[in-house]
A and B are shown apart, each in its own frame.
Chain A
Amino acid sequence: NAGVTQTPKFRILKIGQSMTLQCAQDMNHNYMYWYRQDPGMGLKLIYYSVGAGITDKGEVPNGYNVSRSTTEDFPLRLELAAPSQTSVYFCASSLTVKPYEQYFGPGTRLTVT
């Protein structure tokens, strides 16, 4: 199994541009999550999904959108990128409803200038 994969690894955006961060998992996990991690800080939950077709907001959803058309994929969309969205973005998935044993992808480092 590849586990959780994320693309791209790095990206630089200009203010106002849009992009989609891709996330895929091959473990047949129902639960998927998007986090952002600012320098020296812990992770904050942006959006999550409990299954295909079902998504909901986390702690910091503003400026982002998600979709979950399949069990495997959970893309994160940034519309009108802002410097405050400069961060490292992690996608994660879990098998059970309790989130503690989440499996994380390698991350996408995004810079907005």
Chain B
Amino acid sequence: GENVGLHLPTLSVQEGDNSIINCAYSNSASDYFIWYKQESGKGPQFIIDIRSNMDKRQGQRVTVLLNKTVKHLSLQIAATQPGDSAVYFCAETYELSGGGADGLTFGKGTHLIIQP
């Protein structure tokens, strides 16, 4: 998991503000980049993914940006809500040696704290 990293271990934002969580990756051959959300005591939950041939993808209140030139990935969360409090992980795909599926390399995570 050391190939995919996040710039900040903790990010604190005011409720209602926009949040931007950043991630640097190293594997230029990754097909997909993914963001997961992990609430305390739970397993990770898929948020959004982006294919390597795209620059931007939007979901509901979330946008992922991919800059392949500098190997940078970001997750933007609009109008942050208390329920957005969680640890956010970026992940990139890699080819598993056994074939048939791809593995995921996870970063260390950014803890998003929402201030009331």
Q: Which residues of chain A have a CB within 8 Å of any CB of chain B?
A: 4, 31, 40-45, 48, 50, 54, 56-59, 90, 92, 97-107
Contact flags B75-115 to A (C-beta < 8 A → 1, else 0): 00000000000000101010011101111111111000000
B116 lies within 8 A of chain A by Cβ? no
From residue A31, how far is it (CB to closest CB) to chain B in Å?
Answer: 6
Q: Which residues of chain B have a CB within 8 Å of any CB of chain A?
A: 1, 4, 9, 31-32, 34, 41-46, 49, 89, 91, 93, 96-98, 100-109
**A-B contact sample (14 more), CB < 8 A, given A31-B101, A102-B44:** A41-B109, A43-B106, A44-B106, A54-B100, A56-B96, A56-B98, A56-B100, A57-B97, A98-B32, A100-B34, A101-B49, A104-B43, A105-B43, A106-B43
When the two chains form the complex, which single residue of A42, A45, A97, A107 contacts B42, counting CB atoms closer than 8 Å? Answer: A107
In the bound complex, residues from chain A placing their C-beta under 8 Å from that of B9 are: 40
When the two chains form the complex, which single residue of B49, B100, B104 contacts A45, counting CB atoms closer than 8 Å? Answer: B104
Bound complex: CA A92 to CA B101 (Å)? 13
Q: Is the CB of A42 within 8 A of B4?
A: yes
